[in-house]
Each structure stands twice: as structure tokens, then as C-alpha cells.
Structure 1
Amino acid sequence: MKKLLILGTVVTVSAFLASCSNKSQTATEENSTAVVSSSSSQETSSSSSAVSEAKKEETQIIGSNEYGFVKVPKSWVRFHEVEGGNDIQYCDGTDINIVTLNTFKAEQFNISEEKYAKLDVVTVSSSILTSKEQSSDFSKVWGSKSTIGGYEAYVVNAIAKSGKYLVTWVFRSNDGKIRYVSLEGDGETLKTILPMIESSWSNTKAKAE
């Protein structure tokens, strides 16, 4: 199984940070315009009732203390990319519907912990958005804002030419870490899983329950 353009995210963001290292704050603000001020979950708000209707025994909590936790259907299983990588990924048994968890670290960007603490999440999100726009795999890419686990997130939305959807949340949690969560799949699956992800994400397992 292969997720769409996620393995190269850190490389892309690192290159973006390097190219922007000498730019002014004004340039950073201009980059933020790539993020449209609208919620990715608005289109699926009518399906939020699906989360409350899902019985606890029908879901499972996945993740780790390092990457955070979310709820997914109990039938979903963990898998590992043949290309490698340290993501935590679960799918429904196909290569279509996939949830990915990760956390960006200072060393991945080749910056100090001090600079990491000041790193603008918009910069990271804008870089991911740009990489999707430049890819021939996608027919439509746009940015939005949403809330995941109670945190404001910058969201990169994309539609692959195959018709598959990809939603990527980038946000900073209260422990100072920049989090990465992505959901890819068909439209019907996203209607149920997207609100489940946004409502359940937590940096501790107990809070995700």
C-alpha cells in the first residue's frame, strides 16, 4: 500500500524552510494566504452524528505517546509502507482508506529546538500545500482551517485524479510539538471517519477514549 505524497513531506518542508530562512516576516504572512479561512469539516458537518452513533466497542484507539492518538473503526488494521518510514498507519484492509499519524521534529528540519519552538505552523502547512499543487497526482488542492482535538489546525485538502481524497491536518499541540495527521480515502468513508478523527485526537490515550 502506498499513501499519496506523504513520505516526502519532511524533505519538502525542510527545503521550504531553507529557502525562506532569509525572508522577512512579510513573506511569511504572504505564504499564509495559501491557507483559506474555511473549515474542512464544514462539508461533512451533517455527518457528525455518525460519530456519536458509533458504539465504543465498534472503535479502537490507535497511536502512540510520541504521535498522539485517534479513534478509528475497530476493523481497521495497522500496516507498514514497503518504502519504510516511521509513520503510524491504519487502513480498512484496502489501499484506499488510510489514517496516518506523525510528529515533526526539529532535527527533521535541520533546525535547533529553539527555532522549532518558534516555527510557524502556517509555513509548514503552506509547504505541504505547495508540494501537492506541484504534483501531477492531484486534480484539485486547497487550504482551509479546522479544529482537531480542540486545536486549531491548518488543513491541506486534495483530490487525486483517481477520485481519492486526501486531508492533512498540521497543528501545534499544547506540549509544543507540531503534529501531522492525514486521512485519505473515498468520499463515503471520509464522511464518517473525518469527524471521528477531528473529535478524538489527543496527545494522551486516556483523553482519546
Structure 2
Amino acid sequence: MKNKPLLVAVAVLSLVSLVACSSPKKESSGPSSSESTSTSVVKETIESSSKVEKKTSDGDQSSEETKRIGSADYGYVNIPSNWKKYESVENGDNIEYRDPSGNYAIILNASNREKANVAEGEEFGPDMMAKRFESGMNKTNKVVKISRSSVTVGGNEAIQVNMSLKSGNYTILWTFQKDDKVYNIVCVGDEKTIDQLTTYVKETWSFDGTGAVTD
């Protein structure tokens, strides 16, 4: 199945956001009603006049039409305008959009200490989320290599976890903290798609949903 690595990443992000490593009785296959962010309104807007610039290999700049997706709970980010929202049981309360082929995706989520099931006195932050994601993906036996780096996402210091997969595709997690919440963004795709989404995530993520319309 072509999009199996994508589904694995979705399941692992649900695990990262909703289940503590020390709580084996909980399952990550789907959230309970209390875990669902039913009040979160997913919004998007096609911004024909707002385009994200990318530098091409010859130094020129090209632009592509984008739309803005996300929520007040998870933040907003620009993505290619032809990507479509995807919803399924395994998604939990993730916000997920896929490319026209259905094989590549961007996934948004966020957790506070309670949602992540982290007890008082335990570590809670981006490093914990990164470790959970790394551990969960390693258990799938689909990862060839993992590396970390420190980057800036929408002006926020973030941990970037880079994974190359046996399928030849890549998965990237960005995780960072603002106030009492840790924000998680996952992208799955080939090299070209990952490069494109990395630009969008780093340069356009914010809480600004100005101009967005209800999905």
C-alpha cells in the first residue's frame, strides 16, 4: 500500500499527542470523546494574492498559490492550494491535509500536559514529544535514519526530527512550546514535497487566521 508510511506517521502523531509512554492501558487507535477537540474550528482560505516564495536551484524565485489551513488551537500554516482535507477514525483530532495523490501529507496537532497524559513532576515539552515520536516510529521498523536539528518555526525555537524511510520518502516532525502547550507538525513526502513544506512551515506558521473561511 503506497501510503502505508503516511498512515504510520498519523498513528504515531496521535500516540505522541494523546498517550504517555508509561500508560500501556491507553490505545492510540482513536481518541475518546474527551480527547476530541470538538470546539476547534478548522479554517482555510485560498489566498490567490498571497504566495510563498521559494528559491530555485539557479537562484531565481518562483511562487505557488497556497491556502491557509489550521485552527485556533493548533495554529495556521500555508500549504499548496490543491491539497485536500482528510478525515478518518485513525486521525483522532489531528488536522490533516493530503496532496492530490493521497500519498503525502501535513498533519497539525497540539497538546497540553493533561492531553499528553503527563503527570505533574514529569518532563513535559518538545524534547519529550520528539522522543515519543522517535520511539513510536522506530517500533514500526520503517525508519532508516533519524537526525535532529534546532530550527525556527514562525519565530519559535523548535526541534526538527528528520527521518528517512525505507520507502524512499521522508517524515519530519517540528515540535515547539508556547505557554502551556506543545505544538506538533508532521510532514510526509518525497524530497521535493518535504523541501516545499519545510519552507511553508518555517515561514508561515502562526496563530494568525486572518481571512480564513470555515471549511
Asked whether the two chains share a fold, i.e. TM above 0.5, the reply is: yes
Over 3 Å counting, the alpha-carbon distance change for 1:190 and 1:8 in structure 2 is closer
Over 3 Å counting, the alpha-carbon distance change for 1:12 and 1:151 in structure 2 is closer
Aligned residue in 2 for 1:156: 161
Aligned-pair distance for 1:132? 2.3
- The ranges of structure 1 where at least 4 consecutive aligned residues each deviate by more than 3 angstroms after the TM superposition are 8-19
Q: 3-state SS of the aligned residue for 2:198?
A: helix
Aligned residue in 2 for 1:88: 95
Over 3 Å counting, the alpha-carbon distance change for 1:73 and 1:159 in structure 2 is same
Structure 2 unpaired stretches of 5+: 25-52
| Higher strand content, 1 or 2 | 2
Summarize the alignment of residues 1-209 of structure 1 with structure 2, pairs less than 5 Å apart. Answer: 2-11=6-15, 14-16=19-21, 48-49=54-55, 53-54=62-63, 58-111=65-118, 119-173=124-178, 175-206=179-210
Aligned residues: 176
Is contact 2:143–2:163 with CA below 8 Å preserved after alignment?
yes
- The one-letter code sitting in structure 2 at the alignment partner of 1:201 is W
Over 3 Å counting, the alpha-carbon distance change for 1:96 and 1:10 in structure 2 is closer
Over 3 Å counting, the alpha-carbon distance change for 1:176 and 1:97 in structure 2 is same
- The one-letter code sitting in structure 2 at the alignment partner of 1:60 is K
Aligned residue in 2 for 1:34: none
Over 3 Å counting, the alpha-carbon distance change for 1:207 and 1:155 in structure 2 is farther
Aligned residue in 1 for 2:32: none
Q: 3-state SS of the aligned residue for 2:168?
A: coil
Map Cα deviations across residues 115-147 of structure 1 (whole Å, 9 max, x no partner): 69x723212212222222333111122222211
Over 3 Å counting, the alpha-carbon distance change for 1:188 and 1:176 in structure 2 is same
Is contact 2:175–2:182 with CA below 8 Å preserved after alignment?
yes
Aligned residue in 1 for 2:37: none
TM-score by length of 1: 0.72
Over 3 Å counting, the alpha-carbon distance change for 1:153 and 1:185 in structure 2 is same
The more displaced of 83-92 and 1-10 is: 1-10
CA distance in 1, matches of 2:97, 2:121: 32
| Higher helix content, 1 or 2 | 1
Is contact 2:96–2:106 with CA below 8 Å preserved after alignment?
yes
The percentage of aligned residue pairs carrying the same residue is 26
Map Cα deviations across residues 128-172 of structure 1 (whole Å, 9 max, x no partner): 222223331111222222111111111111111111110000101
Q: Which has the higher contact order (CA 8 A, sep 6+)?
A: 1
TM-score by length of 2: 0.70
Structure 1 unpaired stretches of 5+: 20-46
Is contact 1:10–1:109 with CA below 8 Å preserved after alignment?
no
Q: CA RMSD in A?
A: 3.0
